[in-house]
Amino acid sequence: MIVYTTDLGTGQRLYLHNTDTTTTLTLVASAAGQQQAQRSGLSTGPWQKPPTVFRTAGSIIVRIEAQGGEFFVQVQGSSMHVLSSSPSLGTAEVLPTQRSSEATVPGGMQPMQPMQPMQMQMGDMQMQMEPMKMQMGDMQMQMPPMQQATPASAAPKPSRRFCPQCGTPVKPTDRFCSSCGHRLVEADSE
Ligand SMILES: [Zn+2]
């Protein structure tokens, strides 16, 4: 991208930049420490020559000689408009233009605003909800301590036993089935 700048005096500076298709004019007015930029784009095609900036009696005229033809843009105050016919520039003063790098265009190609940092940090995936924690860096996860899965009342009861012989429920302490007298504890270590 080619950029030319011209100091228009009166605290205004004009930046002209050209891409393959478009000429962009940025008019920057500095007042009281604030910058105001007006921008206007024009389909000109690539420039054939550096633009020329004229100061006439009442306004600034920019002449752009590009592949798409010759264009004149009038800058008056803080407004810019394209002239439909060639203005008379006989007595106009040519203002010096400086070629500069695009980095100096204020309000120009603005870098993308950095995204607002998100609550969740995606860098190495951290996440925290009230009691829950999660971290992907070295894979950590933390959840509230599990409540006792089984309340005390439901604590494992001594399993009911049945007589393998006749199916009658027997007490775990029984050594013999009360119904059929089958011996219940022979294999048990108890
Ligand atoms: Zn039995």
Q: How many domains does one find in the chain?
A: 2
pTM: 0.53
Mean pLDDT taken over the chain: 77
Q: What is the pLDDT of residue 166?
A: 94
pLDDT tens digits for range 146-172 = 555 555 555 555 567 888 899 999 888
Looking at mean pLDDT, say which of 9-13, 88-92, 95-99 comes out highest: 95-99
80 Cβ contact list (under 8 Å, min separation 6): 25, 27, 38, 40, 73, 74
Regarding whether 8 and 97 lie in a shared domain, the answer is yes
Please give the structure tokens belonging to residue 46. 């690539």
CA of 159 to the centre of ligand 1 (A): 17
Does the residue 147 lie in any domain?
Answer: no
- End-of-domain residue from the set 69, 87, 104: 104
| DSSP classification of residue 180 | T
Confidence (pLDDT) at 115 = 43
CA 173 to ligand 1 centroid distance, Å: 14
Cα 168 to ligand 1 centre (Å): 6
Residues 89 and 16 in one domain: yes
| pLDDT exceeds 80 at position 99 | yes
Residues 7 and 83 in one domain: yes
Residue 155 CA to ligand 1 centre (angstroms): 28
pLDDT at 71 over 60: yes
Residue 89 domain boundaries: 2-104
CA 136–ligand 1 middle distance (angstroms): 59
Cα of 24 vs centre of ligand 1, distance in Å, is 101
